[in-house]
Amino acid sequence: MELIIFKVGLIVTLFLLSLLIAAYSTYAERKVAAFMQDRIGPNRAGPMGILQPLADGLKMFMKEEIIPQEANRYLFILGPAISMATALMTSAVIPWGPDLNLFGQTVSLQVADINIGILYVMGVVSLGIYGIMIGGWASNNKYSLLGSIRASTQMISYELAMGMSIVAVIMTTGSLSIGHMVSSQAGSTGMAWNVFYQPLGFIIFLICAFAETNRTPFDLPECETELVGGYHTEYSSMKLGFYLFSEYVNMFISSAIIASLYFGGYNFPFMNIVQENTGEIMFAIICAVVFLIKILFFIFFFMWVRWTIPRFRFDQLMNLGWKILLPLSILNMLITGFFILYNN
């Protein structure tokens, strides 16, 4: 019973953390954009505009909900629900800290430590495209449909290169479990990170993560200058909020996956010395905070790139995915296999 209570508490905590970080990512994005453009940014709602996400959420709840007359009502409602649900589901297999001894048994700071964790993440992320496709098609709007088609084409193209880069990590760690991938990067000083062994794979995965989350320079599914608002043009109220929130939740989860696969997850330099001089619970808290700092850095990096690099044309996006990233990911996998064979 204690274990069930602990797991339920962990699930609720991750749910609230995902929503909180997604909400304040909108605030952080405006502040980062304002800094880069020599502006002030949000400054009315609370000190330094810190309550702006709460004001935005209240506005979404209070706005009139409009469903187009010619739209498919049930699918129109289902689209944003699928996007939000799949975005939140991916956090279940991410290890947020080392194992703890509680209630006389070992418990992990991970909702589900399944031995095919990375396949679960890829599968759930692939389901997320259905939310965008259904929403765009059900709107009965040509701009929405075009945006959803762009999104599906983009995700299919970049998931191949992303999968190949993950295969190289699987080859080096010998496991599909994200928990095992993180623990294998501890080493003697907590610095046996995969980014040192898979630099090309990391760059490929990072670029594909931008495409998977529809972030600039890969935001063609919703680019305002061409498609009004893309696949969610016809949405309003909290349905629009679900689409916008799911993008930021996906950015949060993508940052967590990048940190887990390539930057050691909750591992940090000289963590063995810290572990010897602190209690078990305090050490787990320190590891979780370190992991969160890595995630926040990558979220900032997503924002930095958005306000620095211009958008690709669609033909450039397809060429990059199929003619550059896919061959490079296959080459990276072959090089990894060669080194593993040579060392054995």
Q: Out of 28-37, 82-91, 123-132, 214-223, which region has the weakest mean confidence (pLDDT)?
A: 214-223
Question: Quick one: average pLDDT of 211-235?
Answer: 78
Q: Distance of CA 340 to CAs 83, 328, 333, Å?
A: 39, 18, 11
pLDDT at res. 325: 95
**What is the percent of the chain with per-residue pLDDT over 70, rounded to a whole number?**
98
Q: Tell me the C-alpha distance between 84 and 188, whole Å.
A: 39
Find out whether 25 and 248 touch, Cβ atoms under 8 Å. yes
Q: How many CB atoms lie within 10 A of CB 267?
A: 25
- 102-119 pLDDT per residue, tens: 777 778 888 888 888 899
Q: Out of 21-35, 80-94, 117-131, 180-194, which region has the weakest mean confidence (pLDDT)?
A: 180-194
**Average pLDDT in the chain:** 89
Residue 82 — very low, low, confident or very high, per pLDDT cuts 50/70/90?
Answer: very high
Residue 198 — very low, low, confident or very high, per pLDDT cuts 50/70/90?
Answer: very high
> If you compute the radius of gyration of the chain from its CA atoms, what whole number of angstroms results?
21
Residue 321 carries which DSSP code?
Answer: I
pLDDT at res. 158: 92
Residue 225 has pLDDT above 70, yes or no: no
Q: Tell me the C-alpha distance between 17 and 29, whole Å.
A: 18
Residue 120 has pLDDT above 70, yes or no: yes
Q: Residue 292, CB half-sphere, CA atoms under 13 Å: how many?
A: 12
Query: Residue 79: which of 237, 235, 248, 260 has the closest Cα?
Result: 235
Find out whether 70 and 126 touch, Cβ atoms under 8 Å. no
Instruction: Note if the pTM is more than 0.85.
Output: yes
Alpha carbon dihedral 273, 278, 281, 283, in 10-degree steps, equals -30
Question: Quick one: average pLDDT of 65-85?
Answer: 89
Q: Distance of CA 255 to CAs 64, 90, 100, Å?
A: 34, 12, 24
Question: Quick one: average pLDDT of 322-335?
Answer: 94
Q: Tell me the C-alpha distance between 185 and 182, whole Å.
A: 5
Task: Please give the residue that has the higher pLDDT: either 114 or 207.
Answer: 207
Share in percent of the chain as helix, strand, coil (round to 5): 70, 0, 25
The β-bridge partners of 105 are 102
Mark out the alpha helices in 108-141 (DSSP H runs).
117-138
The β-bridge partners of 100 are 107
- 228-261 pLDDT per residue, tens: 677 888 898 889 889 988 989 999 999 999 999 9
Question: Quick one: average pLDDT of 94-101?
Answer: 87
At 140, list the tokens: 């009965």
Q: Pick left, alpha or beta for residue 48 (phi over 0 → left; psi -120 to 50 → alpha; otherwise beta).
A: left
Find out whether 220 and 150 touch, Cβ atoms under 8 Å. yes
Residue 224 — very low, low, confident or very high, per pLDDT cuts 50/70/90?
Answer: low
At 173, list the tokens: 């760690």
Residue 215 has pLDDT above 90, yes or no: no
Residue 86 has pLDDT above 80, yes or no: yes
pLDDT at res. 228: 66
Judged on CB neighbours under 10 Å (0-12, 13-18, 19+), 141 is: buried
DSSP for 2-53 reads HHHHHHHHHHHHHHHHHHHHHHHHHHHHHHHHHHHTT-----SSSGGGTTHH
Residue 264 has pLDDT above 80, yes or no: yes
